[in-house]
Amino acid sequence: MPQKKLDAFFDTAKCTGSNEKVVQVPNFEKADLKDFPPIAPANLPPSYFVSAAYDGKVGKALIKLYEPKSGKIYFWYDNTGHKPYCYTNLSPYELEKIDRLMNHPGFDHFEIEEKFDPLTDKYVTVTKIVAKDPLAIGGKPKGCIRDIIPEDSPKVFEVPIDPNNIKVWESRIKYYQSYIYDLGLYPGMIYEVKDGNLVLKHVKEAEETVQLILKKFENAPPEELSYIEQWARLLEYPAPKFRYIAMDIEVYSPVATRMPDPREAAYPIICVAFYSSDGVKQVFLLRRENVEEGSEKLPEGVEIKYFDSENELIKETFDFLWRYPFVVTFNGDDFDFRYLAHRARKLGFQKDEIPIEVGKRVCLLKYGVHIDLYKFFFNRSIQVYAFGGKYRDVTLSDVGKALVELEKIALEKAISELTYRELAKYCFRDVEITYKLVSFNDELVLKLILVLSRISSMPMEDVSRQGVSRWIRNFMHREHRRRKMLIPNSEDILALKGKTATKAIIKGKKYKGAIVVDPVPGVHFNVFVMDFPSLYPSIIKIWNLGYQTVLCPHFECRSNLIPDTPHWVCKKKRALESLLIGALRDLRVQWYKPRSKDKTLSPDMRNWYEIIQGALKVILNASYGVFGSESFDLYCPPVAEATAAIGRHSITQIINKAEELGIKVLYGDTDSVFLKNPSKEQIEELEKWAEFNLKMNIDLDKVYRYVVFSSRKKNYLGVLADGSVDVKGLTGKKRHMPLFIKKAFDKLKDRLARVKNPAEFEEAKRDIINMVRECYMRLKRREWGSLHELAFNVVLGEAPEHYTKTTPQHVKAARMLKERGLELKAGDLISFVKVMNEPHVKPVELASDHEIDVDKYIAYLHSTFDQVLDALGLDFDEVIGLTKLERFM
C-alpha cells in the first residue's frame, strides 16, 4: 500500500522519511492516573491492533488499539466471555473423579469437542477443560490443571490407565494468543470499535490490490489460493504513522567500570533523555553537589531541565511513559525500565504510580508498547537477513554507526564525573541514536515489526523480542485453531515420526545437509551463477512436506519416497506447512520482490514493498531450519532431513543435466551452480528442464566477469560486470584478522576489480607481486603504525573462566585482562597481538611494539594471500623473493 494512499486514508501527518520532520507542539499535559485505563469508546475510529494482554484485575483479555489521528492508545476488553482452556483425552466422567481438579478454585466447566488430530489423521472427541483464569491452566509449577491431570489420574481410576495415554493439549499457549486465534483476530491490522464491538476495518484500496494479486495466481489450486489471499490481505493493508518517544537514562555509580544493578537500584538516576516523533528533545538532570555546569554545547532544540529532587525527575519521566503509545529503548528490558521501576519503588512510589510492568525478562508498559531495540537487533535473523549483516556487535554504538551513521560519544571520564552539560550531551546522543534507529528509512523498524506481527499473529512487543521460531510456531498455531485441529505436543510428534535416517558429515549433527561441489581451481572468465530461489521453501511446498505428511499413517503413501531417505510423504492431504510457507514463498518471489524493484511505483510504495519482502525473507530463510531445532514446538527431524535430501537431489540433477548439455560446472553450493561461459541456448534448455522435471524454477542470479577459485569450498572471489567484487569466505575478509592484513587484502581486491580480460591479468599480477612484497617488507622493517593494526579481534563465546577443554589464544588474552580487574563476559570482543614470549599473546592494551612476533604475522600474510595467489599461478615465497634454498631453511 503506497504511503500516499495511507495518508489519504488516515489523513495523518505527511510521512516522507526521516529528514523532513513534522514538528507539532508537544503535548505537555501531565498524565492523569484517573484516566487509566483508557477504555475505548463505544465507537472508535480506525485503529491498529498493536498489543494484547490478559488483565488479571478485570479477568479479561485486553486489546491495545493505537488510534493514529490522536496518537493515543485505547483499551478494548473482551465482551464475548471467552475463557482460558486446555484439552484432554479423558472424558468428563473420568475427570470428575479427580478431586484436585474439581476443587481447583480456577476450574470452571467441561465441554465436549470434536477435533481433528493431525498425527493420526482422524477426528477425535476431546474434553475441553475451561478455567476461570489462565493461571489455573498453567500458572504455578505445582497445582495447576495441566499438571494435576497426568499426576492424579493414574491414582484415581479403578482400572489403571497407562500414564502415557493420558494427554493434555494446548495448555502452554499464552492466554492472549489463544484469545487472538479463537476470535480470528489479526494483530497489526486495522480495527474499529462499533457499538462496543471490535470490527476489522475494510480498506478498499488494499482489497483491490489483493484481488489483483489473486488474479496473478489464478492458476493455483483453490486450497493454495485461499492462503495467498489470507497472506496478501495481511501484507497489503497500510501501516500508520507512528507516534513514539525514545528514552535513555544514566545512573550514578561509585565504581566507574561497574554497571549499577537494576534490581537493587541503589544509586540515583542522574540523567534522563527523551526524543520523540512529535518534537520532544528533552534532557532531565538531577542537581548534585560538586558538579560543574560545563560549557558543552548541545544539539539545537534540546531543552534541559534541572531537578532538585530525584522523585520529581522520575515523576516527570513517568509522565512521558504514561502518554506515549510507543516507547523505544536500547536494552530497556534489562536496564532502563527495570532500574526506573525499582528505583521508584525504593523512593516510595506506589505500584499504580509506576507505568512499568516488570517481568522476569521483560519490562512492559501499562499504557503503550515498549520496543526494546537491543532485543530486536540482537535477533540473528533480523541482523543477518533484514539488515544484511551491516552491524556486527549489538551495541548502540555499532548498530547506530552502521544504520544511522551516529556513534556514542566516547567518554574519557566516568559518568559520575561528568559536568552537567557533558552528561546531558552524552545521554542525549544515546537517545538520539535510539530515536533514529526507529525513524530512519521511513520508520522501517516499526513497520517491519508491524508486518511480522501480522504474519505471526503476535503483539508487537512479543514479535520484537522473540525469535523466528516463535513467529513460525504462532502462525502455525493460528492455522490449527482455525481448522479445528488439535495442536500436537512436541513429544508426540517425536515419538511418532522418530529421528533421522541419514548420517551427517559433521560430527554431532543430526542429519545430512547440503552438497558443496569442489571448485575447479583457477581463474575463469564469464561465469554464470544460477540458483533455485528460496530452494527449501520451494521444496516444502512442492513436495508437500510437514509434520503430518512426512511418514503419514496411510499405507498407500508409503511408496511415495523421498530421494536418499527411507521416508515417504502423504499423497492424500496437504500439509499446513506446505500451504503456508509455500504461499509466502510464492508471494515473495512473484509479487513482493518484483514490486520492491518496480521503478514505475512511487519510492514510498517501493519502500513499503521492500519492507514486506524483507520480512518474508527472514521468515522463509528460517522455515526449514526450525523443523530441525529442538526448541521449535513442531520439531520434526524427518521434515528437516527430507527437505535437505530433496535439496541435494535437486542440485545434483541440475549439475548432471548441465554437464549433459555440455556446460562446464565450476562450483556449486546448496542451491547454486557456477557455469563456465554457457550459451544462451544452453541456459534456456536448463531452465526448461528444471521447470518440467523438478517443477522448480532456476534463475540466473548473476554473471561474473571472472571468478577466482582456489581448491577450497566456500572460498572465492568474483568480479561482476560493473567492477564490484564479491569476496566469499576468504581469510582476508574475516573479521578477526588484523587490520594490517585486511588492508593489504583490500588493495589486492581493488587491483583485481580493474581486470577486464585475460590479457589484463598479466599486468595485474605484476602489481600484485609488488603489493605483497611491500607488505612483507613493512612487516620485516616493523613498520605498522599503531599496534591496533596488528590486533586480532575475536569474540568470547563464553565467559573467560568458562573454558575448560582448551584455552584458545583469545581466552588467554582475556584472562590477562581479567587479572587487571576488567569484567569480561560472553560476547565481548578481545583484541590481542602475537608476541615473542610465552604465552605468545597479549591484549593490545598491554603490549608494546618491540615484543611483536613478526614471523607469525608473515605466516598469516602468507596463508591469507595463498588463497588467491594459488589460482593466479603465483607462489608467496617466490613473490617475496625467497630462493628455494632459503625457504627450506
Residues 727-756 touching DNA, rule: CB under 7 A, are: 727-729, 731, 733-736
- 63 DSSP β-pair partners: 52, 76
Given a contact cutoff of 8 angstroms between Cβ atoms, the answer to whether 269 and 340 are in contact is yes
Site string for DNA, 820-839 (x = CB under 7 A): --------------x----x
Rounded Cα gap, residues 221 and 733, in angstroms: 47
State phi, psi for 716 to the nearest 5 degrees: -165, 170
By three-state DSSP, how is residue 76 classified? strand
CB atoms inside a 10 Å sphere around CB 194: 12
Rounded Cα gap, residues 486 and 128, in angstroms: 11
- 114 DSSP β-pair partners: 125
CB 308 → DNA: shortest distance, Å?
42
- By beta-carbon proximity to DNA, the closer residue of 128 and 524 is 524
CB 674 → DNA: shortest distance, Å?
9
- By beta-carbon proximity to DNA, the closer residue of 439 and 670 is 670
CB 110 → DNA: shortest distance, Å?
33
Given a contact cutoff of 8 angstroms between Cβ atoms, the answer to whether 672 and 541 are in contact is no
Please report whether residue 797 would count as binding DNA according to CB under 7 A. Answer: yes
- 109 DSSP β-pair partners: 130
- By beta-carbon proximity to DNA, the closer residue of 558 and 743 is 743
CB 298 → DNA: shortest distance, Å?
36
Closest among 835, 745, 839, 731 to 790, alpha carbons compared: 835
- By beta-carbon proximity to DNA, the closer residue of 265 and 639 is 639
Residue from 381, 419, 526, 590 that binds DNA (CB under 7 A)? 381
What is the H or E stretch that residue 877 is in?
helix 876-879
Please report whether residue 401 would count as binding DNA according to CB under 7 A. Answer: no
CB 666 → DNA: shortest distance, Å?
12
Name the one range near DNA by CB under 7 A: 158-166, 258-266, 773-781, 854-862.
854-862
Site string for DNA, 405-424 (x = CB under 7 A): --------------------
- 597 DSSP β-pair partners: none
Rounded Cα gap, residues 256 and 522, in angstroms: 55
CB 528 → DNA: shortest distance, Å?
14
- By beta-carbon proximity to DNA, the closer residue of 382 and 486 is 382
**Region 855-874 residues binding DNA, contact defined as CB under 7 A:** 856, 859-860, 863, 867
CB 564 → DNA: shortest distance, Å?
12
CB atoms inside a 10 Å sphere around CB 607: 19
**Region 641-660 residues binding DNA, contact defined as CB under 7 A:** 644
Please report whether residue 715 would count as binding DNA according to CB under 7 A. Answer: yes
To 5 degrees, how large is the angle CA 220–CA 222–CA 224? 65
**Region 499-528 residues binding DNA, contact defined as CB under 7 A:** 504-507, 509-514, 516
Q: Which residues, other chains included, contact 491 with Cβ-Cβ below 8 Å and sequence gap of 6+?
A: none
CB 453 → DNA: shortest distance, Å?
16
**Region 757-796 residues binding DNA, contact defined as CB under 7 A:** 793-796
Residue from 172, 366, 713, 815 that binds DNA (CB under 7 A)? 713
Name the one range near DNA by CB under 7 A: 208-216, 334-342, 721-729, 743-751.
721-729
CB 535 → DNA: shortest distance, Å?
7
Q: Which residues, other chains included, contact 574 with Cβ-Cβ below 8 Å and sequence gap of 6+?
A: 223, 544, 549
- Per-position DSSP letters for 628-692, written without gaps between them: G-TTSTT--HHHHHHHHHHHHHHHHHHHHHHHHTTPEEEEEETTEEEEES--HHHHHHHHHHIII
CB 499 → DNA: shortest distance, Å?
11
CB 618 → DNA: shortest distance, Å?
9
Helices (H) and strands (E) in the chain, counts: 29, 27
Q: Which residues, other chains included, contact 636 with Cβ-Cβ below 8 Å and sequence gap of 6+?
A: 493, 494, 497, 547, 550, 627
CB 803 → DNA: shortest distance, Å?
5
CB 783 → DNA: shortest distance, Å?
22
- By beta-carbon proximity to DNA, the closer residue of 787 and 858 is 858
Site string for DNA, 143-172 (x = CB under 7 A): ------------------------------
Long-range contacts of 702-705 (CB under 8 A, 24+ apart): 702/529, 703/526, 703/527, 703/528, 703/529, 704/526, 704/527, 704/528, 704/529, 705/525, 705/526, 705/755, 705/756
- By beta-carbon proximity to DNA, the closer residue of 71 and 467 is 467
**Region 535-564 residues binding DNA, contact defined as CB under 7 A:** none
CB 508 → DNA: shortest distance, Å?
8
- By beta-carbon proximity to DNA, the closer residue of 288 and 728 is 728
The amino acid sitting at 694 is L
- By beta-carbon proximity to DNA, the closer residue of 396 and 841 is 841
Cell output for 566: 527411507
Site string for DNA, 106-135 (x = CB under 7 A): ------------------------------
- 249 DSSP β-pair partners: 272
Cα dist from 630 to 469, 626, 633, 635, whole Å = 10, 8, 8, 6
- By beta-carbon proximity to DNA, the closer residue of 693 and 807 is 807
Please report whether residue 464 would count as binding DNA according to CB under 7 A. Answer: no
**Region 613-632 residues binding DNA, contact defined as CB under 7 A:** 621-622, 624-626, 628-632
Given a contact cutoff of 8 angstroms between Cβ atoms, the answer to whether 236 and 605 are in contact is no
CB 197 → DNA: shortest distance, Å?
34
- By beta-carbon proximity to DNA, the closer residue of 303 and 875 is 875
Cell output for 573: 492431504
Name the one range near DNA by CB under 7 A: 32-40, 97-105, 270-278, 663-671.
663-671
Residue from 46, 262, 355, 467 that binds DNA (CB under 7 A)? 467
Please report whether residue 810 would count as binding DNA according to CB under 7 A. Answer: yes
Q: Counting beta carbons within 10 angstroms of the beta carbon of residue 781, is it exposed (0 to 12), middle (13 to 18) or buried (19 or more)? A: exposed
- By beta-carbon proximity to DNA, the closer residue of 415 and 696 is 696
CB 771 → DNA: shortest distance, Å?
19
Query: Considering CB under 7 A, how many residues would be counted as binding DNA?
Result: 72
Q: What's the CA dihedral at 156, 162, 167, 168 to 10 degrees?
A: 40
Name the one range near DNA by CB under 7 A: 109-117, 313-321, 393-401, 797-805.
797-805
Given a contact cutoff of 8 angstroms between Cβ atoms, the answer to whether 828 and 818 are in contact is no
- By beta-carbon proximity to DNA, the closer residue of 410 and 506 is 506
Q: Which residues, other chains included, contact 281 with Cβ-Cβ below 8 Å and sequence gap of 6+?
A: 274, 275, 299, 301, 302, 303, 428
- By beta-carbon proximity to DNA, the closer residue of 366 and 840 is 840
Residue from 132, 702, 712, 765 that binds DNA (CB under 7 A)? 712
Rounded Cα gap, residues 64 and 6, in angstroms: 21
Cell output for 192: 474499529
